[in-house]
Amino acid sequence: MEPLFLQPVFQEKIWGGDQLHTVFGFDIPNDKIGEDWAISGHPHGVSIVENGPYKGWKVSDLWKEHRELFGNADGDVFPLLTKILDAEDDLSVQVHPDDSYGLKHEGELGKTECWYIINAKPGSEIVYGHNANTREELAEMIEEERWDDLLRRVPVKKGDFFYVPSGTIHAIGKGIMILETQQSSDTTYRVYDYDRKDDQGNTRELHIQQSIDVTTVPAISPELEVSESKKGTSSVITYLKTDFFNVYEWDVMGELSLKKKGDYTLMTVVEGYGNLVVDGQSYEMKPGTSCILPAQVTEWKVEGEMKIIASTPGKK
């Protein structure tokens, strides 16, 4: 009946910055930290529990040895991954495979993801989709580097939400912080990286053929059926329900009582302060705090003034 609070796992990136320290208060190792893997069972950055009887356990080991914490859900790997991203510079233009391509070619799940915009500087934009009508046209436009013709750019602001299914060409632009909920995968195919070089003067690898193989053509723009449920002065916004994950915003103004909607629940505070109350025990919550509510936690309360992005596993 205890939440599993998790230690952050930081990833240095060529496009990263220092806002995971200045905004979220994390003790980051340098000023090029692009990602906090907040809730992860992935071997490239696995989360470790920092409280309770499972203190020191890796999420991946809990999934293998204590599946009851996750409602005895099926699957070889913990299926979800939550990140906070700080894009000091533009991310590469990229695309992710679906499960069948990812498992066949990379030995891991594909990657469908979604983004909650925590903050965005004025004029910020993302790449979201493309303008090619056929795969042949896509290949031709990439080969000829006709990026302005190919890529769709969308302005963004704080509080926006985007669904990014596998096969979607995309890029987070500079000046944006996001909370990303995704499948547990680290497979990324780079289409274009602005010809930039790393500290050693090397360009990063591109994956042109794989990108052409997996991109959805023509591009689709999924329509979200967002709904909001008022609960006193607080509210629950449902952004997304998919086979992979369901994603919610808990907008807490005072208090908000909740009951579980899935085998287990992931949650990360993106703004504000307060407390999480489980089984009569109160836990402090602040920006960047992340935890898993295991299957045994069937109801809880959040108090204070906070925005929390929460997710549960989808049902295939």
User: What mean pLDDT is reported for the chain?
Assistant: 97
pLDDT greater than 90 at residue 151: yes
Return the pLDDT at 316: 62
Taking a C-beta distance cutoff of 8 angstroms, is the pair 80, 39 a contact? yes
pLDDT(197) > 90: no
pLDDT of 311 > 80? The answer is yes
Per-residue pLDDT band at 315 (split at 50, 70, 90): confident
Q: Could you read off the pLDDT of 14-38 as tens digits, one per residue?
A: 999 999 999 999 999 999 999 999 9
Active site residue 190: yes
102 — pLDDT class (breaks 50, 70, 90)? very high
Q: By three-state DSSP, how is residue 1 classified? A: coil
Question: How many degrees, rounded to 5, is the angle at CA 308 between CA 307 and CA 310?
Answer: 150
The three-state secondary structure class of 280 is coil
Which of 227, 232, 233 minimizes the C-alpha distance to 247?
A: 227
* Catalytic residue (choose from 67, 135, 190, 204): 190
Average pLDDT over residues 64-81: 97
According to the model, what pLDDT value does residue 51 have? 97
For 262-279, what is the mean pLDDT? 98
pTM of the full structure: 0.96
β-strand partners of 174: none
